[in-house]
Amino acid sequence: MKTIITYGTFDLFHQGHYNILKRAKEQGDYLIVGVTGEQYDIERGKLNVSQTIAERIENIRRTGLADKIITEEYEGQKISDIKKYHVDVFVIGSDWRGKFDFLKEHCEVLYLERTKDISSTMLRNKEISNIQFGIAGSGRIAERFVPESKYVSGCNIRGVYSRNIKNASKFCNKFELEFCTDDYEELVDKCDVIYIATPHKLHYQMTKSALKKGKHVLCEKPITLNSNQLIELYEIADKKKLVLMEGIKTAYSPGFNRLIDLAKFEVIGKICHIDATFTKLENKSNREFDFEQAGGSVNELASYPLLVVEKLLGKPKAISYNSIYENNVDIFTKINLEYEDAFATLKVGLGVKSEGDLVISGTKGYIYVFAPWWKTQEFEVRRENRNLNKKYFIQFDGDGLRYEISEFMKLINCKKKESWMLSRSNSINIVKVIEDFSRLNIQNMHN
Ligand code: CTP
């Protein structure tokens, strides 16, 4: 018996897929089709696959051509599969010519001519409308946004706004955008959606103005510094049937979601304590150190560790803070949260440096997330008996903004108002803590 194997994502099954499976089958007696798993697709940068693995497998099954369907979960699996299934011929489309020659020491490698003028990417692009983004702000985060957007199909950055036209023009030239402006309303009028990456205090007005003009908004965290304002913005978004999503990039990353799933699944038993630290030494002349511009460690960084406690422990019953100040700005703050049967200690700092790790402690063990935990990639479930420890590694690509952009685009395309990865109530609860801290701060300053 001659065994053939071939692999692919097989998203939105099309004629090209059918042709290659048919011709692969003709090469032998038994055809194995490897379908890439969802996690593996994300790891290799395919963020836009439309169909679930179950749907993709079902489409292949329906052709009646595959004798066996397997899933491909990791890079390098092909060699094991070839050995395990005693494969004689590895078949793949001509777009991969030469790329799998190294498999020749294990079996015959055959590149078959690709069917012209059809691909999953083409079909997905037809499904997804091209969305014209306008960027408000030309600072560091906006600079990272543009290269990351290239990984998400359908996302086109059209123009940039900055109140300083020189900065806008520099940004526009650097990233070869269509236009730049120092008039925010012009940006809003010319684009379908707005990404807001301006200083905190400008978020509310800019978001409101874009929503009122019927534009979807992706806004950097925290969207507002006041929970009532945030609720008001969500109400406007609802009335206008628009997406308003908060850009806490960690929330949308595959590693972080895997971590949350594991912790919620009680792999370490009942969660009793969370210790999360995020510090980032900033230049003291930056706006992050300016009280008037809502600077400070909590405003700037607390959204990240608060995301963890919000996801795992929910609403706290008591909160207290310890801070070190310089010019009325907290350069380091410890947030102590109390729950019914648990505690959390969150540390954020712009003027103090510490280890950026995360420890989730439970009754059966703890999860140690290596720094920088907010770019969640590597973590270990540790137990009393070290032999039972288990390490996890989930790829976090680039700056991670691609996961956030991809989710935002999905919400727009599927006409959904909020993401399960960071719900509106998650965002509101997070901002409530930030607001509470600011209120206490101002009270203390007046005493
Ligand atoms: N294939 C083909 N002819 C096409 C498209 C795909 O022969 N027009 C082959 C590929 O070479 C591969 C298999 O079908 O051997 C599965 O490819 P896959 O990557 O899933 O399909 P694409 O349409 O190329 O997907 P994408 O656009 O996402 O790369």
Give, for all 447 residues of the chain, the pLDDT tens digit.
Answer: 999 999 999 999 999 999 999 999 999 999 999 999 988 888 777 778 889 999 999 999 999 999 999 999 998 999 999 999 999 999 999 999 999 999 999 999 999 999 999 999 888 877 666 899 999 999 999 999 999 999 888 899 999 999 999 999 999 999 999 999 999 999 999 999 999 999 999 999 999 999 999 999 999 999 999 999 999 999 999 999 999 999 999 999 999 999 999 999 999 999 999 999 999 998 888 889 999 999 999 999 999 999 999 999 999 999 999 999 999 999 999 999 999 999 999 999 999 999 999 999 999 999 999 999 999 999 999 999 999 999 999 989 999 999 999 999 999 988 999 999 999 999 999 999 999 999 988 777 766
CA of 318 to the centre of ligand 1 (A): 55
Question: Which of 17, 18, 19 best tests ligand 1's pocket when mutated (most atoms within 8 Å of CB)?
Answer: 17
Q: Give residue 369 CA to ligand 1 midpoint distance, Å.
A: 37
pLDDT of residue 44: 78
pLDDT at 370: 98
* Dihedral pair phi/psi, residue 20, rounded to 5°: -70, -35
Residue nearest to atom 14 of ligand 1 (CA): 17
pLDDT (0 to 100) of residue 128: 66
Distance between start and end Cα atoms, the chain:
86
pTM across the whole model: 0.86
Can you list the alpha helix ranges (DSSP code H) found in 117-190?
Answer: 120-127, 140-149, 165-174, 184-190
Beta strand pairing call for 155-161 and 131-136: parallel
At residue 359, the 3 state secondary structure works out as: strand
| 15 close to ligand 1 (CB < 6 Angstrom) | no
**How close is the Cα of 385 to the center of ligand 1, in Å?**
47
Residues of the chain by 3-state class (helix, strand, coil), percent to 5: 40, 25, 35
What tokens were used for 188? Answer: 């809003």
Cβ(400)–Cβ(250) under 8 Å?
yes
Task: For a ligand 1 pocket test, name from 42, 112, 114 the mutation site with the most ligand atoms within 8 angstroms of its C-beta.
Answer: 114
Question: 24 CB less than 6 Å from ligand 1?
Answer: no
Comparing CA positions, the residue from 158, 249, 164, 161 lying closest to residue 209 is 161
Chain length of the chain: 447
DSSP state of 265: T
Residue whose CB lies within 8 A of the most ligand 1 atoms, among 21, 65, 95, for a mutation test:
95
Token reading at 199: 């200083």
Q: Does the CB atom of residue 17 touch ligand 1 within 6 A?
A: yes
Rg over alpha carbons for the chain, rounded to the nearest Å, is 25
The closest-lying atom of ligand 1 relative to the alpha carbon of residue 96 is 11
Ligand 1 and 8: CB distance under 6 A: yes
Block residue for tokens 């905190």: 200
Is the CB of 406 inside a 6 Å radius of any atom of ligand 1?
A: no
Whether the CB-CB separation of 354 and 368 falls below 8 Å is answered with: no
Tell me if 33 CB under 6 Å of ligand 1: no
- In the chain, the amino acid numbered 257 is N
Number of other residues whose CB lies within 10 A of the CB of residue 239: 10
Residue 14 CA, ligand 1 centroid: distance in Å? 9
**Ligand 1 contact via 119 beta carbon (within 6 Å):** yes
